[in-house]
């Protein structure tokens, strides 16, 4: 795949384990000029991370409402047309006040709204607002963190109503974006990415039932996704892929 050298990388929702792993991975890539990270709480205070002082890292703080996100877009103006990779890492499964539903009686409107906002609405807003930033001649690969449980055809266990539905809705939105992007942003390729079960806070309460060989480190997933993005072709289609690059059925 041809691309300008060097290029910039944008990581949105960079405060979580996977977001930080993507930052660390791309900072090891000599083809990357800058990694621009966006998160609610700003740059991590984890001074054990050797990449945190890297002068190629630019960190932007933002609340995830549309006015704040528009401010981020303004700050990205100097990088317009030169961003070769975008990772949209937003996602929530549980919190202190809600848990994945085991039965339909567990569905709570407030929790469902919060899950949909994080998993579906925020990524959609980024894709809405970024179109001028990403437009250009250089290929740009955008990976949005989805999940296998967002596959309607693969749902055999039920449960997890809000999370499943939010990821299925995300996939549907990404399909619509891919159709319009193919017309208006011909240099952009969209990927709905399933990282597998990753050893992060999101999955910790559920790791006991996961075979050791199926519990991945965030660094491993970051490597897998970076390789998938490097080999992706800008074809005007939405790809729904797992951590191993295998297609998932919608």
Question: What residue spans define the domains of the chain?
Answer: 7-242
Task: Say whether pLDDT at 60 is over 70.
Answer: yes
Q: How far apart are CA 190 and CA 167, in angstroms?
A: 15
| pLDDT for res 43 | 74
**Average confidence (pLDDT) over 190-197:** 94
**Average confidence (pLDDT) over 37-63:** 80
For 7-242, CATH number?
A: 3.40.50.720
Q: In what order do the strands lie in the sheet with 140-145?
A: 57-61, 32-39, 7-12, 83-88, 140-145, 188-194, 238-242
Confidence (pTM) = 0.91
| pLDDT for res 34 | 96
Which pairs with CB-CB distance under 8 Å and at least 24 residues apart come from 156-161?
A: 159/100, 159/101, 159/102, 159/103, 160/100, 160/101, 161/101, 161/104, 161/106, 161/107, 161/112
At 94, the pLDDT band (50, 70, 90 cuts) reads confident
**Average confidence (pLDDT) over 129-141:** 96
Tokens coding 37 = 């990270």
């Amino acid at each position: 795949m041809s691309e300008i050298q060097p290029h910039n990388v944008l990581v949105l929702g960079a405060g979580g384990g996977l977001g930080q792993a993507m930052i660390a991975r791309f900072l090891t890539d000599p083809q990357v000029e800058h990694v621009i990270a966006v998160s609610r709480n700003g740059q991590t205070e984890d001074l054990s991370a050797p990449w945190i002082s890297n002068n190629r890292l630019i960190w932007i703080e933002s609340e995830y409402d549309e006015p704040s996100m528009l401010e981020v877009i303004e700050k990205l103006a100097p990088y317009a047309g030169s961003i070769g990779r975008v990772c949209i890492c937003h996602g929530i499964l549980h919190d202190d006040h809600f848990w994945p539903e085991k039965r339909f009686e567990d569905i709570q409107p407030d929790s469902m709204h919060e899950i949909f906002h994080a998993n579906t609405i925020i990524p959609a807003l980024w894709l809405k607002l970024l179109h001028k930033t990403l437009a250009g001649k250089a290929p740009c690969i955008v990976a949005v963190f989805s999940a296998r449980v967002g596959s309607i055809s693969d749902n055999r266990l039920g449960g997890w109503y809000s999370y499943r539905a939010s990821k299925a809705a995300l996939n549907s939105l990404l399909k619509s974006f891919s159709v319009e992007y193919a017309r208006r942003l011909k240099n952009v390729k969209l990927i709905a990415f399933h990282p597998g079960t990753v050893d992060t806070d999101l999955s910790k309460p559920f790791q006991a039932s996961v075979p050791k060989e199926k519990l991945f480190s965030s660094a491993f997933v970051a490597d897998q996704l970076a390789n998938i993005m490097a080999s992706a072709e800008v074809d005007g289609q939405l790809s729904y892929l797992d951590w191993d690059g295998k297609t998932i059925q919608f």
